[in-house]
Amino acid sequence: MPIAFVLIGVETGSEHEVAEQLRSMSAVKGCYSVYGVYDIVVKIEAASERELKEAITYKLRSLPKIRSTQTLMVSD
């Protein structure tokens, strides 16, 4: 099962709102608010690499108030 961690930067003050939206996504298996360069880290799992990429590209990155992402694909 493909897994990725996505580091997310959001608009100031929207961390809680974005985290709630992310937690409602079926591919998101963990969502954590963090301090530092990024605001949120999510763990995403999908049945295939294609589904994983679609979840990141078309669902996660299309959420309003997300200003940047950095995707870390887990290697076996």
Q: What is the CATH number of the domain that holds 38?
A: 3.30.70.920
CA-based torsion, 15, 18, 24, 27: positive or negative: negative
Are 32 and 39 in contact by the 8 Å Cβ rule? The answer is: no
The helix/strand/coil state of 34 is: coil
Supply the pLDDT for residue 64. 94
pLDDT digits (tens, 9 = 90+) for 1-13: 999 999 999 999 9
Kindly state the DSSP code that residue 24 receives in the 8-state scheme.
T
Cα 46 to chain center, whole Å? Answer: 13
How high is the pLDDT of residue 76? 77
Q: Specify the number of domains making up the chain.
A: 1
pTM of the model: 0.93
Range of the domain at 51: 3-73
pLDDT at 38: 98
Q: Which parts of the chain sit beneath pLDDT 50?
A: none
